[in-house]
Amino acid sequence: MKKLVKELFIPGIIVVSMVAMTFMATFSDDIKTTVDVMAPAVYKSDVTLIIDPGHGGADGGAVSDSGAKESEINLAVALKIRDLAGFFGVDTIMTRQSEEIPYPESTGTIREKKVYDQNSRVDLVNSTENAILISVHQNNYPDASPSGGQIFYTENDCSIVLAGNIQEVFSSSISPDSTRAPSVIGDDIYLFQKIDCPAVLVECGFMSNPGDFALLSTDSYRSKLALAVVSGYLQSEDDINSYYGGTNESKDSILLY
């Protein structure tokens, strides 16, 4: 029964999510806020999902041949994740909500600005009770052939489950031909070395791959990425709540009602 429920869960969430994204896209920002407030609280818990659009401000991240900045794509996908997660009653916080970052006057160089920004994100994550971090990035490589998304995780059971569920949705709905598997995040990512909560880094695709970049440049594909991330998150809610010592109604019973 559990296997059947899991097989039904992913397409079910994606269908509902697509309806939600279409519905929210029809209305103004003011009405979107109302939709978020009135969202169904099926998966409501005491956990806060922190969504981190990588880079931003003076740090544009990877840059495509056409001059597009990774930070802009990260933000566009992250905002969709926020809106969709809110529709399902998930409490969210964004580490940034625009391309502008207010740096103090003491940060003169780009490096100083990056250090200030990363420390601010660390402080935000570590000061948030029962936090889960999903950081959104785009990959880049000197060779144009690598493609597809991959999920990286910090070394704890909750992060591993979350990364596995998101990667599974990526494999089934985003890149069915991909053989990529979740992997532990390297020790050179400052943010992930300084935070205390379960966390995953979502590499949505390769800006260096023409096919990936063409998709990443479209609003519809960014919505699809957001659907995959939120679907994977919702599948992981029981494990996340258990990690923080809480309880939640099982997804089996929800789906069987």
pTM of the model: 0.82
What is the predicted pLDDT for the residue at 20?
A: 54
Q: Which residue is it, tokens 């409490």?
A: 91
Q: CA separation (Å) from 152 to 83, 89, 97, 248?
A: 23, 25, 23, 26
What is the predicted pLDDT for the residue at 33?
A: 38
Distance CA 120, CA 150 (A): 26
Q: Which residue type is seen at 62?
A: A
Distance CA 169, CA 141 (A): 24
* Of 158, 161, 126, nearest in space to 244 by CA: 158
pLDDT in tens, 68-120: 999 999 999 999 999 999 999 999 999 999 999 999 999 999 999 999 999 99
**Exposed, middle or buried, 225 (CB in 10 Å: 0-12/13-18/19+)?**
buried
What is the predicted pLDDT for the residue at 102?
A: 96
Distance CA 5, CA 25 (A): 30
Q: Which residue type is seen at 82?
A: R
Residues with pLDDT less than 70, the chain = 1-44, 247-257
What is the predicted pLDDT for the residue at 16?
A: 55
Domains within the chain, CATH numbers bracketed? 2-246 (3.40.630.40)
Distance CA 173, CA 118 (A): 32
Distance CA 123, CA 251 (A): 33
Collapsing DSSP to helix, strand or coil, 44 comes out as coil
Pairing mode of beta strands 199-206, 150-153: antiparallel
CB 163 within 8 A of CB 228: no
Run of H or E residues at 52 = strand 48-53
Collapsing DSSP to helix, strand or coil, 136 comes out as strand
What is the predicted pLDDT for the residue at 179?
A: 87
How many Cα atoms sit within 13 Å of 210 on the Cβ side?
A: 0
Show the tokens assigned to 220: 């519809």
